[in-house]
Amino acid sequence: MKMDVRPPILGADRLSVEIGRHSVCRELDFTLQPGDTLVILGRNGAGKSTLLHTLAGLREPLGGAVLLAGQPYGAWPRGHEACLRGLLAQSQPDFFSATVLETALVGRHPYLGRWDWESPEDEAIALDALAQMGLEGFAERQVPTLSGGERQRLAIAALLVQQPRLYLLDEPLSHLDLHHEIAVLEHFRGLAASGSGVAMVLHDINLAARYASHVLLLDGEGGHVFGPARKVLTVERLSAAFGHPLRAVIDGDSTLFVPV
C-alpha cells in the first residue's frame, strides 16, 4: 500500500486569534488531513467565524501561523490559494442581478485568465453542482426570486464549482430544512471520503457528533480542545463550553446530548 506523503491540507501552528480584546484561541495546534471532517463548536460570540476566516487566510492572526498544504498563505502564488481552499461565508450578498447559473459559475473564476470566458466544460461543472444541491431546472432563475434555503444551496453549489481541496463552511445549514441539512452534510462527508478536507462551523452538537471526524471546541475565553470527535464530545466539556448542563442519552450506537 502506497503511503500518502503529502502535507496536511490545513494546519495551525501555535495559532492565536483575537477579535477586539476578546481571545478566540491561544496557541492552537492542529492538522487537517485529506479525508478529515472538522467541526468547530462553541457558544455564540466564542469567535468561530473569526477563526474560520483566519484559517481561510482572510484575517491575520495575533500569533502563530496557518498552513495551507504545508505552506503559509503568503508563500502561494497570488490567486492560487483559491484553487486549493474555498470558503462558504455566513451571508451571501447579491449586489447585481444575475441568474442562478451565472452565480454558480463564479466558482470557476480562479481557473480563468483575466479576459477568459467560461467554457462549455465550466458550464457543465456548474450545472452538475446545481443538480447536486437540488437546483436542477433553476439555471435561468433570477437570484432575487429564490427563497432563503434555495439561496443557501446556490452558495454551496458555487463553492462546489470551485472544486478546492479544502472546504471551509461557516454555518452551511442556515435556512435549510431538515431534508436539505442532511443532504448537504452527507454530500460533504462524501467529498471528505474522496480525499478532500472539510472544516465547518455548526451549532447542532448532535449533527457534529454524527458527521465530524474531529472537533475543535472553543470555550469562549480563548481556551480550546481539539481531537477526535468521540473524545472531545463529552457531557462535562460541552456543558462547560455552552454554559448549560447537558446529559448523554444512548440511542443504539449513537450518543445524543440533550439539555437538562
Mean predicted confidence (pLDDT) in 141-160: 96
Classify residue 3: in a domain, yes or no: no
Q: How many domains does the chain have?
A: 1
Classify residue 81: in a domain, yes or no: yes
* HSE toward the beta carbon, residue 61, CA cutoff 13 A: 24
Distances (CA, A) of 238 to 30, 214, 224, 258: 20, 15, 11, 11
| Cβ–Cβ < 8 Å for 178, 189 | no
Strands 63-68 and 71-72: antiparallel
Per residue in 35-51, pLDDT tens?
999 999 999 999 999 99
Q: pTM of the full predicted structure?
A: 0.94
Looking at every residue in the chain, the average pLDDT score rounds to 93
In eight-state DSSP terms, residue 69 is T
Q: Which of 19, 98, 7, 97 is nearest to 52 (CA)?
A: 19
Helices 120-132 and 148-162 sit at what angle, rounded to 10 degrees?
Answer: 130
Confidence of residue 94 (pLDDT cuts 50, 70, 90): confident
- Identify the pLDDT of residue 96: 74
Mean predicted confidence (pLDDT) in 105-125: 89
Per residue in 11-25, pLDDT tens?
999 999 999 889 999
Mean predicted confidence (pLDDT) in 68-94: 90
- Identify the pLDDT of residue 79: 82
Classify residue 55: in a domain, yes or no: yes
- Identify the pLDDT of residue 251: 82
* Grid cell 450506537 in the structure block, residue: 253
Domain that holds residue 34: 10-259
Classify residue 46: in a domain, yes or no: yes
Classify residue 109: in a domain, yes or no: yes
Least confident of 21-30, 87-96, 168-177, 192-201: 87-96
Torsion angles phi and psi, residue 95, rounded to 5: -80, -25
Classify residue 4: in a domain, yes or no: no
Is the predicted pLDDT of residue 3 greater than 80, yes or no?
no
Which residues are paired to 257 by β-bridges? 248
Is the predicted pLDDT of residue 95 greater than 80, yes or no?
no
Classify residue 1: in a domain, yes or no: no
Taking the C-alpha atoms of residue 154 and residue 92, their distance in angstroms, rounded to an integer, is 10
CATH number at residue 35: 3.40.50.300
Q: Which of 87, 51, 57 is nearest to 74 (CA)?
A: 57
Is the predicted pLDDT of residue 2 greater than 80, yes or no?
no
Give 118 or 106, the one with higher predicted confidence.
106
Is the predicted pLDDT of residue 181 greater than 90, yes or no?
yes
Classify residue 5: in a domain, yes or no: no
